[in-house]
Structure 1
């Protein structure tokens, strides 16, 4: 799990709201070709360095040479690595995804990253404009409370 540096909250989790826009991979994205994803490796070509002194490097080199179906030139680096240089215009080894033309989900959740101690159900706005209005009203309420002390 990735650790995130966060400012220590001044209040308990129940005093916060979390505004979130979500576009989950399964429902809002689809697999794409390198060309569709405007992949830099596809557009300009790329290099892959493989250390064939290791078992992993040997398997990678075997795949590139025998199974990948890609065009490449081979060089040996001074460090003992095998460097495969791939021409532009062919698929790289990454799995690309592009967004579907689908609106994201607009959520307002009670609590913060520490949780929702009151167990209040999240609210989902149907339109982004409503989510923005809700957020603005919430910020305005906070500003007024700060002004009052």
Structure 2
């Protein structure tokens, strides 16, 4: 059951702690993340009856540069079995170690406002802002 919000979006604040991919993460190799697929090998089941499956299979066979064997299973899928010791197809990422961003935004997912938007310098200030906001809500409820 989805509860209907009691207040309009513009009457709300949203508190979040974020580490955006663009600024806080970077691409990584299988070696950097101790990738099990690279260590032990892996299998990919491809449905070549679809356009996507045909493109995937063509990429594997002609452009991937990986070592593999292939066979069809009982469901008609092409199974590509990749040998250990090579990069897998996963887009691995690792954090850059930057501190998270402590964000306050006006509104909620139904509609964002510019009122009260800020990025706090640290977690303590964010927690203090959150506590102050919660106290204002409690005081308003108590008043009726």
Q: What TM-score results when the alignment is normalised by the length of structure 1?
A: 0.78
1:83 offset after TM fit, Å?
A: 0.4
Label 1:122 to 1:60 Cα distance change in 2 as closer, same or farther (>3 A).
same
Label 1:52 to 1:112 Cα distance change in 2 as closer, same or farther (>3 A).
closer
Query: What secondary structure is seen at the aligned counterpart in 2 of 1:122?
Result: strand
Quote the residue 1:126 is aligned against: 121
Quote the residue 1:137 is aligned against: 132
Label 1:51 to 1:11 Cα distance change in 2 as closer, same or farther (>3 A).
closer
Query: What secondary structure is seen at the aligned counterpart in 1 of 2:130?
Result: helix
Of 120-129 and 6-15, deviating more is 6-15
1:116 offset after TM fit, Å?
A: 4.2
Give the Cα separation in 2 of the matches to 1:13 and 1:37.
41
Label 1:6 to 1:131 Cα distance change in 2 as closer, same or farther (>3 A).
farther
User: For 1:57-95, what per-residue CA distance to the aligned partner results, in whole angstroms no more than 9, with x for missing partners?
Assistant: 344323323332222232220122210112333211122
Quote the residue 1:21 is aligned against: 17
Label 1:58 to 1:9 Cα distance change in 2 as closer, same or farther (>3 A).
closer
User: For 1:8-42, what per-residue CA distance to the aligned partner results, in whole angstroms no more than 9, with x for missing partners?
Assistant: 21012232111122222221111111232343433
Q: 2:93 aligns with which of 80, 92, 97?
A: 97
Give the Cα separation in 2 of the matches to 1:79 and 1:28.
42
Query: What secondary structure is seen at the aligned counterpart in 1 of 2:111?
Result: coil
Quote the residue 1:52 is aligned against: 48
Q: What TM-score results when the alignment is normalised by the length of structure 2?
A: 0.80
Label 1:43 to 1:136 Cα distance change in 2 as closer, same or farther (>3 A).
farther
Q: Please state if 1:68 is matched with 2:64.
A: yes
Q: Please state if 1:79 is matched with 2:37.
A: no
